[in-house]
Amino acid sequence: MELLEQRIKEEGIIIDGHVLKVDRFLNHQIDPILMDAIGEAFTERFKEAGITKIVTLESSGIAPAVMAGLKLGVPVIFARKKPSLTLGKGSYTAVVRSYTKEETNKIYLSADFINANDRILIIDDFLAKGEAVMGLIDLVKQADATISGIGIVIEKSFQDGRKRLDQLGYPIYSLARIASLSETGVEFLQE
């Protein structure tokens, strides 16, 4: 997605040569017009996949997921990083390690909103080692729902998350694929 690559080049900040900070349009300040275009791109890719729900992770996945949900006409569920007040059928839980933040989180998804008939599109902001997406896959599988697609805003293709997901056979669509990050800038994979 050329518009997104351009924004990453112009506004992304590279820390220590390997962390990409896009707080100017995605992770802290959000550009709603860009999110709308991102939602459109995911919709274009997955509109024939029979998606019934989108699952994402708070907080940075919410904006792109809601824009895609609006266009696909399906609800969005965001997995939480803290347990909710208990009620209903209870929660599915998974463990996610964040290498960037050097912490491990449990994530939660209510069993009330997802079932074996659902065809799920997982959307997340970043794919690096794949920990967060693997956690979301774990939650969806606990509900016996089908994973019909994975949409990623920014993929660090030089880390092994994409390979892990490809090996599992899921249809993956990453809008920006970063081949390398260094003090001098960002290089994208040429498709």
The answer to whether 79 and 136 have CB atoms below 8 angstroms apart is yes
30 binds a second copy (CB under 8 A): yes
Which of 33/179 has CB closer to a second copy?
Answer: 33
Closest CA to 148 of 73, 60, 42: 42
Contact pattern from residue 108 through residue 147 relative to a second copy, giving x for each residue in contact according to CB under 8 A and a dash for the rest? --x-xx----------------------------------
Residue at token pair 């990623």: 152
Phi-psi region at 169: left, alpha or beta (left = phi > 0; alpha = psi -120 to 50): left
47 binds a second copy (CB under 8 A): no
- Contact residue for a second copy among 69, 130, 151, 161 (CB under 8 A): 69
42 binds a second copy (CB under 8 A): no
The answer to whether 170 and 46 have CB atoms below 8 angstroms apart is no
Q: Rounded distance, CA 124 to CA 9, Å?
A: 20
160 binds a second copy (CB under 8 A): no
Q: Which residues contact 169 (CB under 8 A, 6 or more apart)?
A: none
The answer to whether 152 and 124 have CB atoms below 8 angstroms apart is yes
Q: How many residues bind a second copy (CB under 8 A)?
A: 37
Which of 59/93 has CB closer to a second copy?
Answer: 59
Token digits of residue 145: 């729902």
Name the DSSP letter for residue 183. T
Binding residue per annotation — 40?
A: no
- Contact residue for a second copy among 6, 19, 47, 160 (CB under 8 A): 19
Binding residue per annotation — 132?
A: yes
Q: Residues comprising the binding site for xanthine?
A: 20, 27, 156
Residues at the site binding a second copy, with contacts judged by CB under 8 A: 13, 15, 19, 21, 23-25, 27-33, 35-36, 58-59, 62-63, 66-67, 69-70, 73-78, 80, 84-85, 87, 110, 112-113
